[in-house]
Structures are given as structure tokens and as C-alpha cells.
Structure 1
Amino acid sequence: MNGVIKFSDIIKKRFLEDMMIGGNLTITRVVITLLLTFLATLFVYYIYRKTFSGTLYSRSFNISLIMLSLVTALIIMPITSNLTLSLGMVGALSIVRFRTALKDPNDITYMFWAIAVGLTMGAGFYSAAAAGTFVIGMILLILHFIKPGGFSSYLLILHFSHESSEAVNESLRKLPHRHLKSKTVTGDGVELIMEVKIKGSNTNFVNDFLDIKGVRDAALASSSGDYIS
């Protein structure tokens, strides 16, 4: 019947409009979303730099977190604005494989965080992205600076001659928290690796081992492999 609009016609019209003009996606929205995403991931950048405790800080990885969030937001905006494009992007992204090995397990957390910021920003949930980013950042800072009991675990590595074994053992007994990890005895001497727990940042006791005759070197390493002295 002429003049009667069917529900199916409305769906078809809406579908064609989305396919032709991209829904409500405008240049202004793209620019504003990317700028807000950049500001949010700058906070992620700062938190990663502040809480990093690995062997070697990678500025390029930290910058890649910002780019990852921006690219994610750029992908999500067309997906939420155009039904046809969203189906095509889902199929295209399903064949992408990332094979880069991450040395620090915490890097995976920051990658998911950056992706989450891009997802929420790209979907238009600006307040949720800002609030979530701030809360997660504060939690990471608290967990980084608060340590149970105030003790930190380190590996004490000693190389000394057989003649100085008794003096070394005497000095080790003065350490309140120690645990033997490895002991290697060769014809040239002994390599001893002890796990010690230190309260605060006082590592002067390592220098005392060098005062023992027969001790060739003494090193203190954190669990992440950073040599302290």
C-alpha cells in the first residue's frame, strides 16, 4: 500500500545511511577522541616509567603503549559507527598475530591497560576511561611503593678462596635473613649465592666482605637482575 512505511524499510534505510556516511563519525569526534586518548595514555606512560623495576627501561616500549592506545581508539570509532565496517574489521583483525616476546610479565598488564583506554575512548566513554585510568594508576603506585614488612629480597654473590671460608661464614651469620641458593666449589675457590632480605636501602654490608682476605668480589643483585654493588 502506497504511503505506508514498514519497519523493514526503516532498517534498510538506516543500514544504507550508515554504510554511506559512516553514522555519526565526524572529523571533530575523531580529533577530540584521539587527543583525549593521548592525554590519558600520557598518564599510563608516567606510571610505567615511575613503577618500572626491570633490568633495562625501554622508552620505545613505553611510547608504543601510547601508539597502541591511539590505534585502538582509531579502530573502535568506525566499528561503533558503521555496522558493515565493523563486521569487516572484526574479520580482518582476527588474522593478526603478535609474536613479540615480553621479558617482564608486568608489560602485559600495561599493554592491556593501553588497549582498554583505547577501547573505552574510541567507544565514546570518556568519563569511564579517565576515571578508570586514574584509579588503576593510583593502585599501581601504591603496590609499587608498599612492600610487605619493608624487606626486599636480593641475591648476594661471593667469590672467595678456600682459606677464607670460615671468615665469610662468620660474616654471613650476622645477616638476620639469609637462605642458601647455590654453592659451587672448584680448585680455584668457592662461588656462593645467598638470598638475603634487606630492610630499606642499606647495602653497606656488601663492602665489608671485601675486607676479608681471600674474597675476590662481592655483588648484590635484585630479583630482576639489577646489580646494586
Structure 2
Amino acid sequence: MENLNFNDIFKSSILEKTSSFSVVDSLIGLLVAFAVGLFIYWVYKKTFSGVIYSHTFNISLIVMSMATALIIMGISSNVLLSLGMVGALSIVRFRTPIKDPMDIVYIFWAIVSGILCGAGFIPLVIIGSILIGAVLLIFVNKIKIENPYLLIVKYNDISIENSIEHVVAESSQKHTVKSKSVMPGDDFEITYEIRVKDSELGFINNISEMESVKSAVMLSYDGNFTA
């Protein structure tokens, strides 16, 4: 039986992989991922158009870029490690709902940037991020899109429907009836999808002041509606 010395005990494939590990390349990749993450952070803050801005979600985009780059660096030189990482990540389940489709775009952007940084495609991730950021800044902030509205009118006299229709037609660029229902007590409810002229919403007051109209409600409409 051969005698084992101190060096033989600590010889392992881990040390061999560490010797081939490039600290400089890894630092460059992580720093670029951090810089791209900061750019994504800034673009998201500039293009956010919702009501409640989530600062923690925006910060998570930076961490997501760096963490993805770190994973790619770790598995790029080891096939077994890459298979194990895929298996480990496959059991992860994210239950936080993503309500805005644009948030999915930013998440995908952060992940792709991290992958490219980890793989060493630094010029590609920089050029791609600049172009993506420019597209988002132009199309989200500069181009104005007129979203439609839903007008919900409740009334108890069917004879005023023509009057309501006349006011809606005069005050909107385009309108369509989304639904109409008869409620208990001989009450009626009609829902219009309308595009107003120059954001003029004063006509809703004229409708609410009509005789037999019980209520008139205007809602912002994102295209999804269930009758």
C-alpha cells in the first residue's frame, strides 16, 4: 500500500478546474452584466407607465443579469455541471404573477443579457442592449397610443337608448356595443367600447344627467373584457 502525503489528499478535480479558472474574464463578464443591468434598470424606470412602480422588481433585473452570467460561467466548461444545473433549475417554480406583458420583456432581456455576458459575447450584449433600450424609449415614451375606454350605462327606461347612442356617437371617434343586459327590476345595462376625441370625457356628464339614467361609468380598457 502506497503512503499518502498531504498533497495527495487534497488533489482533486476541483483544484484542477480552479487552476484553469480565469478571474479577469469572470470579473469582466460580471461587471458588464452589472452595467447592462443598470441600463435595463434605467430604461424600465423611464418607460414605466403604470400606477404603482415596483422598485424591488427593477432591482431584481440587475441581480438577474449578474446571476445568469454567473451560472453560464460555471457550466460553460463542465458538461456534467450543466446537466445538473438544468435539473436543479427545472424544479424551481415562480408563483409571482406578471400582470404587465412589458415586465416579461424586461425579464427576458435581463436573462438574455446575462447569458451573453457569461458566454463572453460582450460586444453583442452591449450593441443589442443599446438597440433594445432605444426601441423601448421611442415606442413607449414618444409614440402616443390612444387606448379605448369602456362606458357602462345603467338605466331603467329602454326608450332613452337612442339618446344615449346619439351622445356617444357625437362624442367619440369610434364606438361599438360590447354587451347589453337586462337586470332584475326592469333595469338595463349597456356597455360601449369607445375611442374619444382628444381625451374629451365631458360627455359622460351629459349621459348621467339624462332622465332614467341611474349611473354612467367610464373605465380604461386594455383590450380584455368578459361580459
Above 0.5 in TM-score?
yes
Deviation per residue, 1:153-172 (Å, 9 max, x gap): 22122223326544323312
Whether the 8 Å CA contact 1:25–1:78 is kept in 2: the answer is no
Which amino acid is the alignment partner of residue 134 of structure 1?
I
Percent of residue pairs bearing the same amino acid type:
43
1:33 aligned onto 2:23: no
Q: How does 1:183-202 map to 2 (within 5 A)?
A: 183-186=180-183, 187=185, 189-202=187-200
Matching residue of 2:205: 207
Aligned equivalents of 1:43, 1:203: Cα separation in 2: 38
Matching residue of 1:178: 175
After TM superposition, the structure 1 stretch with the greater mean CA deviation from structure 2, 56-65 or 37-46, is 56-65
After TM superposition, the structure 1 stretch with the greater mean CA deviation from structure 2, 31-40 or 189-198, is 31-40
Matching residue of 2:151: 156
* SS in structure 1 of the partner of residue 114 of structure 2: helix
* SS in structure 2 of the partner of residue 103 of structure 1: coil
Normalising by structure 2, we get a TM-score of: 0.73
Aligned-pair RMSD on alpha carbons?
3.1
Aligned equivalents of 2:86, 2:47: Cα separation in 1: 34
Deviation per residue, 1:112-151 (Å, 9 max, x gap): 111001111122222211211111122223333435xx64
**Candidates 93, 108, 130, aligned match of 2:126:** 130
After TM superposition, the structure 1 stretch with the greater mean CA deviation from structure 2, 86-95 or 74-83, is 86-95
**Candidates 20, 38, 57, aligned match of 2:17:** 20
Gaps of 5+ in 2: 1-12
Query: Number of matched residues?
Result: 207
* SS in structure 2 of the partner of residue 106 of structure 1: helix
* SS in structure 2 of the partner of residue 177 of structure 1: strand
* SS in structure 2 of the partner of residue 194 of structure 1: strand
Whether the 8 Å CA contact 2:153–2:215 is kept in 1: the answer is yes
Matching residue of 1:218: 216
> C-alpha displacement at 1:97, in angstroms?
4.1
Normalising by structure 1, we get a TM-score of: 0.72
Gaps of 5+ in 1: 1-15
Tell me: CA distance 1:67–1:42, structure 2 relative to 1, closer, same or farther (3 Å): same
> C-alpha displacement at 1:34, in angstroms?
2.9
Q: How does 1:62-141 map to 2 (within 5 A)?
A: 62-82=58-78, 85-141=81-137
